Amino acid sequence: MILLKIIFAGTPEFAAEALKALIQTEHDIIAVYTQPDRKAGRGQKLTASAVKQVALEHNLPVYQPLHFKASTEEGLAAQQELAALNADVMVVAAYGLILPQAVLDMPKYGCLNIHGSLLPRWRGAAPIQRAIATGDHETGVTIMAMAAGLDTGDMLYKTYCPITAQDTSASLHDKLALQGAEAICAVLASEQQLQAYLAQREVQDEALTVYAHKLSKAEAQIDWVVSAQQLDLNIRAFNPWPVAFFPISENNNLRVWNSQLSTLSNITAQVGEIVAIDKQGVHVMCGDQQIICLTQLQWPGGKPLNAAQILQAQKLQVGQILS
């Protein structure tokens, strides 16, 4: 088998899973590109990305250019450095830097991207979160040959993943990260296999395109007028970020990490009213006269509490109207 010379480019945990899987293959990972170290955590210590940590564990050379803009000296230098690596293929997963066409054309077989949705649905920054928030029953991973536009490249391979009523963006992210790792290894099983997938590439149908716009903190504020079903989708979509919330005082918010649809019904109450607090969670009336059950809450300065702990804390009362 002819081994491929692979450049890997990625930054967060989603990408790290794919890198770990590629390291287990016989191919030669000649370089790992990742974003510059960032300040993170309470101490704001400079922290290496998840991908860099995996690369260093396996003694792979790490490159961390700020950008690849040919209009600047450092961007041009970064491009020349990448070209000199003479790669067969570059694998890109949640890298976070824009790759100009010149870079996409450098490897023999171009650049392949691992994208966390079934393209052309959910192109863009937040495919996992938008799939949950919209109530999709299925998503997956697409391996595509990268083109200059945002997630517009031809598709080589897809995997499928059901979205359950219990899934949060955190849990779905972990499932898709594993699927992405398996998918890229399948496409790169051998040079012959890669050539076969490239020969059978499928062009995206622009008519089916849906964009997954970036999440904002403002979106995460709960509006009890919304239907219980939509609120439940939002709460699960916004875990682990930005986390759904509602104000409990002028300067404090209560964060809602998880929820489910309540089994209670036939109750008359105002919108936003707590109708029950039990071992399932906090049951709140929504705008469609259906009830949502909040199952994990976090008070300011505290840790997230589960339903049993919420019941014990006695900080909320039945009949209370939430804003």
Q: What percent of the chain has pLDDT over 90?
A: 96
Q: For residue 296, what are the domain limits?
A: 218-313
**Which pLDDT score, from 0 to 100, does residue 238 have?**
98
- Band (272; pLDDT cuts 50, 70, 90): very high
Residue 238 to residue 207: CA distance in whole angstroms: 28
Same domain membership, residue 174 and residue 99: yes
**Statement: residue 46 has pLDDT above 90:** yes
**What is d(CA 156, CA 145) in angstroms, rounded to the nearest whole number?**
7
Indicate whether 150 and 238 sit together in one domain: no
- Report residue 83 as tokens: 């070209």
Same domain, 150 and 52: yes
Residue with tokens 């489910």: 260
What pLDDT is stored for residue 2 in this prediction? Answer: 82
Q: Examine the domain organization and report whether 128 and 275 are in the same domain.
A: no
At residue 1, does pLDDT exceed 90? no
* 320 within a domain of the structure (yes/no): no
pTM for this one? 0.95
